[in-house]
Structure 1
């Protein structure tokens, strides 16, 4: 089974803060994923999204960590790119198998973009690489995977922040 975290940038006035509405919106967006990637309004992380979050958590121990601004709700900046924001609850009586949804509002998107633009991939890798590389077929394949995820998130959040957008997050299984 394949699991993906799908992230979609969208202007706040265009969305409804409702799980059912967001699930339909994100399902439609998933069906158009190649075009949305091309437009720069979507990205996804494969089953390694929890590992990508743990990779960013290593930033807490970096000497530059004091320079990273906290999220608007006091979240650590390294939490924002993957799990930032708040959960969007299911409506009463909704199907509990509906996918989990999250919403990171524009100030959080800006904080995530700021963190991603300031954190050094190489410094993070030097701190976390040995642990993360042991879960793959060696350190270099893992490094390439994490570097690509970082580049994708950096570009995505940079565009979303520049446009003043929120980010909707869903996990598809």
Structure 2
């Protein structure tokens, strides 16, 4: 079974915080993910997203303070419930800018030093190999959020199982 966190940058004026609009939009985006990823308007993380959240916040479920920008890149935002599956999540353009700012000032090495041993143990892999995987995720997220923030876009998140 595969599961993904799918992120999609969207012009704020186009976003409707309604699952009846988000569901088909995000499904079409998922169907076109490769092209959207290449265009810099989409990103995805397969199965590792809770541990990436742990990398940024120190805990798989996020920071105790919901206003802490470290929680924005993965699980942060406004939940938009849907009938079948986990909620969609919406980050406003302001929250996207906050996430991009957080990712721009945080260093991967400092985060890995704090959480890397626990993350590596979770995956049971060689720490150097696991570190490279998470460094790649981090670099993708930095680029994605920077581009979304620079263009003033909101971000929609879908968790596909």
TM-based fold match above 0.5? yes
State the Cα distance separating 1:58 from its structure 2 match.
3.2
CA distance in 1, matches of 2:19, 2:67: 23
Aligned pair partner of 1:131 in 108, 111, 118:
118
List alignment gaps of at least 5 residues for structure 2: 60-64
Pairwise CA RMSD of aligned residues?
Answer: 1.6
CA distance in 2, matches of 1:18, 1:114: 27
How does 1:49-60 map onto structure 2 within 5 Å? 49-58=49-58
Relative to the length of structure 1, the TM-score reads 0.85
Instruction: Say which SS state the counterpart of residue 16 (structure 1) adopts.
Output: coil
CA distance in 1, matches of 2:66, 2:47: 27
Structure 1 residues 1-33: Cα deviation after superposition (integer angstroms, max 9, x where no partner): 100010000001112221011010000000000
State the Cα distance separating 1:38 from its structure 2 match.
0.7
Is 1:118 the equivalent of 2:93?
Answer: no
Provide closer, same or farther for how the CA distance between residues 123 and 98 of structure 1 changes in structure 2, counting only shifts above 3 A. closer
Provide closer, same or farther for how the CA distance between residues 98 and 129 of structure 1 changes in structure 2, counting only shifts above 3 A. closer
Is 1:81 the equivalent of 2:79?
Answer: no
Aligned position for 2:40: 40
Relative to the length of structure 2, the TM-score reads 0.91
Instruction: Say which SS state the counterpart of residue 83 (structure 1) adopts.
Output: coil
Name segments (4+ residues, structure 1) moved above 2 Å: none
Aligned position for 1:62: none
Assess if the C-alpha contact under 8 Å between 1:23 and 1:99 holds in 2. Answer: no
Structure 1 residues 97-140: Cα deviation after superposition (integer angstroms, max 9, x where no partner): 24420100000000000000000101111111111111231101
| Aligned residue pairs, count | 155
Aligned position for 2:131: 143
Aligned position for 1:5: 5
CA distance in 1, matches of 2:85, 2:31: 17
Q: Does 13-22 or 163-172 show the bigger shift?
A: 13-22
